[in-house]
Structure 1
Amino acid sequence: MPNSSTAHATIPPTVWLARGRHTGNRADEALRRGLRRLKDGRAIDDFLELPAADTAPDLVFESRTRVAREVTVRARLSLAPGTAEGREWTLVAEAELPWDRAWPSPTGMFWEPEQDADWNHDAATGLRPGELNPLPDDDKAVRRLLRDCVRDAWHIHVVVHEAMTTDERGRVPLAHWLPPGLRHRVVEHRAAPQQLRVANWALREFGVQVPRGGAAVLPGAPVPEGYDAGAFAVRAVFLDGTEPAGLVDAVTRYDATARALPDGARAALTALREDWHLLTLAEELERERALVAMYAEALEAMTKSRDLYREAAERAHEALAACQDASSDVPAARQPPAAPGPAPSSPLQQLTRTLERLKPTARSRRATPREPGEPTPDRQ
């Protein structure tokens, strides 16, 4: 069984996820009409369509309701731009308590099955969750389909082998027996009696085998930790109109495993939790109080930082003043020695300076006048 060693965030127990495709026209108008009817009929408490400019290219709708009379459920549905195959939608719902499978499917917070059935298509395969979907007649098409099913992490895919051609009693979908919270997340594939070999041939690379006349729950990707293909294979499914208790138990146990968030689910869940707009008055008041508390905490932290900086500056000034006082009290003997005088001149420089001093003396002697009566020196 291929698996990834990379750690994946698992689906929280309070969260319900689904992805599908609306194959009809004007899916956005169908959503708006359905939400108005649901609110008018008090099936939901309220709904809101976010401004398209803020959510482009998707359209985003929020819906809020209560289950079990007092548990609030918030749900967010994003509708992608249209393609040739339709418009994909992603639904994330979260309750105040761990999700109970007996609660209604959150798809009913947006879509009205009795008014519009075009929304109920699996985005990965195009098939309908909650209904019977026969495997294709072509062997290669069977292999491509089952590969896509194994890689799909948004739905639970189940392959049921019909040991013999069934009558109307054997055409009851598995979803009929599942709790409401699972019906729109399970895609049932029916293999005709002669298709067992090709189905197992397609599933061999994933380590999954369907027993003859039985069923198998496909692992999805990434494979849930601790998944054992044998533990989620049912050896016999009696398609006679009675409840397939073994298969219902296998699907329920698989849904309880710690499965990773599918691609795109993390962003959708973050948006639901952090960018929720459909608030009650009490919730708005609580949010404003939380903002005030957050701002007060930030202001207090800034004030403490300012006081700490001021205290540190005062201590630095005190230390600088103490250093200056200490340097002025140092004894003279400890003062650094005076700078040395000019280097002594050479003997030639000393002789030159002496002669320079003697020159004025000689000139002065020649210029001294004679005393009266002093004989004039003889001239030769």
Structure 2
Amino acid sequence: MPKSSTDRPTAPETVWLAAGRHTGPAPQKALREHLRELKNSERIQGFLETENAATPDGHVFEARWLVDGDVTVRARLATDGREDVDAERRWTLAAEAEQPWDLAWPSPATMFWPGNSGFSWDRDATAGLWLQDINPLPKDDAALRRLLKDIARHSWSINVVVHEAMTPDDEGRLPLARLLPPGLRHRVVEHRATPEQFHAVNWALGDLGTSVPRGGAVILSGTPARVGYDEQAFRVRSVFLDGSEPTELLDKIVEFAALPWPLPADAAATLTALRQEWRLLSLEEELAHARALVASYSDALDAMTKSRDLYREATELAHTALSEMAEYRDAASAVRGSAPGQDKHPLTKTLQRVTDSLLPRRAPRVDALQAARESEERARQSSG
């Protein structure tokens, strides 16, 4: 069984994360119109569109809305690709609420993506598999093994492998997504193995340390594994594909979604971008932001003023010290250069001036200057 990572931060309980792909024309116009419609109908409080600095020609859409009447949700969807290019592109979506996320709340994906559009957006980012439909596993064994290994390592979604005990009828081909809480409908990928693929799929799942019961299901741990994941606890022995509600499997998916999720690096970066690059501010948030900036500038100015004053004081002290050293050096030179019998009056005046100037600032030096004067006086008396 894959071990969970202990050195990665886990997704906060307040956060909803998903990554996917969209195909067809670039979605900026459709996203913009859908968000404007939700704003006009007051389903969201506001939205903002900016360029995605991390991806050439990408766009970022921010939106804010309320759930349960007074709980604010902030969400950020980032896309890549130019508007005039018809291609497959990746999108990431991070939403954070003021309270732990309730799976009964609307899926943030539906607050951005329009229900009817000219492209498919609800595909898993790793392998382009459907998020709201059944995904048959590849018939080729090597391709099957590659796919399962790839999604186990890189997918943000909750991947569920279901084995069909027998070929189901139309009722048995209905996807699980329709029965999931709204908060999980765009975070689960359902894989189906046909009856004859039982051994092949378990051969591939063996690389991941798990297996699927015949006619049952297993929820893959992901990489890194969710904290507290137990392979046996997330296996379901029987899933009846007859149109009835597979209650046990649905409960296991909800239980798995509640486990702490050690964030992959790209998911962590998406959450960081939501928190640190958020621009859609309310009036109160703008005022708080302005106050914080004023306080920050005030602190910086105060620090600069103190630094300037300290620099000026240090400069003045340095100049004073240099001047005193020069005066003391001149006085000492005059003492050493005097000879007996010469007129000592100029030297006496020099020593007096230096002594008077240094007395209030360098008291310890007065003793040396006074000794020099006494030496001069003794020299005069001896020569007389």
Q: Unpaired segments of 5 or more residues in structure 1?
A: 338-380
User: Could you tell me which residue of structure 2 aligns to residue 346 of structure 1?
Assistant: none
Residue 161 of structure 2 aligns to a residue in which SS? strand
Structure 2: how far apart are the matches of 1:319 and 1:286? Answer: 49
Residue 156 of structure 2 aligns to a residue in which SS? coil
Aligned-residue RMSD, C-alpha: 3.2
The residue correspondences of 1:1-380 to structure 2 (distance < 5 A) are 1-3=1-3, 7-51=7-51, 56-81=56-81, 86-116=88-118, 118-302=120-304, 324-329=362-367
Structure 2: how far apart are the matches of 1:270 and 1:65? Answer: 20
Decide which structure has the larger Cα Rg and report it.
1
The one-letter code of the counterpart of 2:11 is I
Change (3 A) 1:63 1:308: same
Structure 2: how far apart are the matches of 1:208 and 1:126? Answer: 23
The one-letter code of the counterpart of 1:147 is K
Change (3 A) 1:311 1:207: same
Structure 2: how far apart are the matches of 1:6 and 1:307? Answer: 50
CA contact (8 A) 2:25 2:118 kept: no
Structure 1 residue 183: Cα displacement: 0.7
Structure 1: how far apart are the matches of 2:50 and 2:210? Answer: 44
Change (3 A) 1:135 1:56: closer
Residue 49 of structure 1 aligns to a residue in which SS? strand
Structure 1 residue 97: Cα displacement: 1.4
Structure 1: how far apart are the matches of 2:228 and 2:201? Answer: 24
Percent identity, please: 55
Structure 1 residue 81: Cα displacement: 2.1
Structure 1: how far apart are the matches of 2:18 and 2:57? Answer: 20
Structure 1: how far apart are the matches of 2:80 and 2:52? Answer: 12
Structure 1 residue 270: Cα displacement: 2.0
CA contact (8 A) 1:161 1:215 kept: yes
CA contact (8 A) 2:44 2:64 kept: yes
Structure 1 residue 271: Cα displacement: 2.1
> How many residues get paired?
337
Structure 2: how far apart are the matches of 1:27 and 1:69? Answer: 30
CA contact (8 A) 2:163 2:198 kept: yes
Which piece of structure 1 moves more, 247-256 or 154-163?
A: 247-256
Tell me the TM-score normalized by structure 2.
0.78
Structure 1 residue 84: Cα displacement: 7.9
Residue 265 of structure 2 aligns to a residue in which SS? coil
Change (3 A) 1:309 1:159: same
Which piece of structure 1 moves more, 111-120 or 305-314?
A: 305-314
The one-letter code of the counterpart of 1:23 is T
The one-letter code of the counterpart of 2:25 is N
